[in-house]
Chain A
Amino acid sequence: NAGVTQTPKFQVLKTGQSMTLQCAQDMNHEYMSWYRQDPGMGLRLIHYSVGAGITDQGEVPNGYNVSRSTTEDFPLRLLSAAPSQTSVYFCASSYAESGANVLTFGAGSRLTVL
């Protein structure tokens, strides 16, 4: 199993450009989520999904869109990038079982917005 795969690993954007961060998992996890990590801020939840067709907002959803058309994929879209979105983004997934709270993280995507 590859676990949680994120692409790209690095990306530089200009203000106003759009892009999609890809996240795929092969563990049949129903729960998937996106976090951003900024220095001194820890990990902040952007959006999450408990299954295909279901998404919900986390702590910092503004400027980001998500969709969940399949169990495996959970892409994160930036429609109009802003310098404030410069960050490291992590995708994470978990089993859909009561008490199974372990998050498996991808390797991360480092985004710079100029």
Chain B
Amino acid sequence: GQQVMQIPQYQHVQEGEDFTTYCNSSTTLSNIQWYKQRPGGHPVFLIQLVKSGEVKKQKRLTFQFGEAKKNSSLHITATQTTDVGTYFCAKGNYGQNFVFGPGTRLSVLP
């Protein structure tokens, strides 16, 4: 079963509104990764977080890793139609299973 959970499952926002998706694990994570999948496309790597409390930014995207390394979040400021897609968090290390969360599907209304 899923070892990494994500909420919400779906999110509809008006263009310009903010968006946040949360990723939770019952066990301590050595790292967390985030991927984006556009409709009809394949997952594309966004970022990896490793350190407790780590915060990384990519333009309008802010990624956080919890202090206990059991949760993470992705926040998008002022969404645009180009942000549409499904955002996945994933845990894993080389040589082991990479486990993906079920994803959060984001719709942006113009």
Contact = CB atoms under 8 A, between A and B. Distances in A.
Interface string B69-100: 00000000000000000001010111101111
**Chain B interface extent, by class:** 20 to 34
A78 interface: no
Nearest to B10: A40
B99 A40 contact: no
A104 B102 contact: no
A101 B48 contact: yes
B104 to A, nearest CB: 10
Contact of A102 (B2, B45, B50, B97): B45
A40 B48 contact: no
A41 interface: yes
B43 A100 contact: no
Contacts of B94: 31, 50, 94-101
B33 A45 contact: no
Q: Which of A43, A59, A96, A106 has the most CB of B within 10 A?
A: A43
Interface string B22-53: 00000000010101000001111100101000
A42 B102 contact: yes
B92 A101 contact: yes
Contact of A105 (B44, B93, B97, B101): B44
9 contacts: A31-B94, A42-B2, A42-B100, A45-B97, A101-B31, A102-B45, A103-B43, A105-B42, A106-B42
A74 interface: no
Given A40-B9, A42-B88, A101 B98 contact: yes
B45 A103 contact: yes
